[in-house]
Each structure stands twice: as C-alpha cells, then as structure tokens.
Amino acid sequence: MGRKLYVGNLPYETGEQELYEIFGQVGSVESVNVMRDQATGRARGFAFVEMGTDEGARQAIETLHEHQLGGRALTVNEARPRPERSGGGGYGGGGGGNRREPRW
C-alpha cells in the first residue's frame, strides 16, 4: 500500500492546515496538497495527503473514510497513479496532417 491518499468530497473552504490536524490525529503527515483552480485559486473539493508510513495511511483510510467534515462525508482512499497523457493537441489528436515542414 502506498502512503499517498486521495481525499475527496471536501468542503471548499477546507485548507491544508485543517487537513494536517485531522490526519495528524491518526499518524504522521508528510504533506498536504489541496487542489485549487488555477484561475480563481478556489479549492476544487479534493486533496492529496501523504502519510509518514504505510500503517499510518491504512489507519487514516479506516478511520477517516466517511468522516463528517462541514456536513460532508469524506472519501479517503489510496491515490492512484496519474494516467499517462498522449501529448496531443486539445482536440483529441496530435500532429498536423502529412506536413513535415512549414510551407513558406
């Protein structure tokens, strides 16, 4: 089991410090990263918490999954690796046809 946890269904006003305190009651916390919208800076409702040990991560999942925070039941589980991206353009594909060099 990995030590990095996904924490979802967070109230938008939840900050890193609050998550440090909540998860710190279960085990040692190495880092907390609340995901935010790049344009507005507003929290997106989920975060990643890295626990100090595998046992701490397991205990956090058992203890804090469905824990009530701000009237919402948290989702806590092991973070999955980020899927590989194809690197294409924004419209579902890469490349620009058969051209090999620009036509001047």
Tell me, what's the pLDDT at 85?
76
Within-domain flag for 35: yes
Tokens of 15: 């900050």
What total of structural domains would you count in the chain?
A: 1
| Residue 104 included in any domain | no
Cα–Cα dist 102/104, whole Å: 6
CB 7 within 8 A of CB 47: yes
Q: Is residue 47 part of a domain?
A: yes
Task: Evaluate whether residue 85 is within a structural domain.
Answer: no
Whole-structure pTM value = 0.77
Residue 24 sits in which domain range? 4-78
Give the pLDDT confidence score for residue 83 in this predicted structure.
80
Q: What is the CATH number of the domain that holds 66?
A: 3.30.70.330
Let me know if residue 98 belongs to a domain.
no
Angstrom distances, CA of residue 42 to CA of 11, 39, 76, 84: 11, 8, 21, 26
In a domain, 48, yes or no: yes
User: Which parts of the chain have pLDDT scores under 50?
Assistant: none
Whether 84 is in a domain gets the answer no
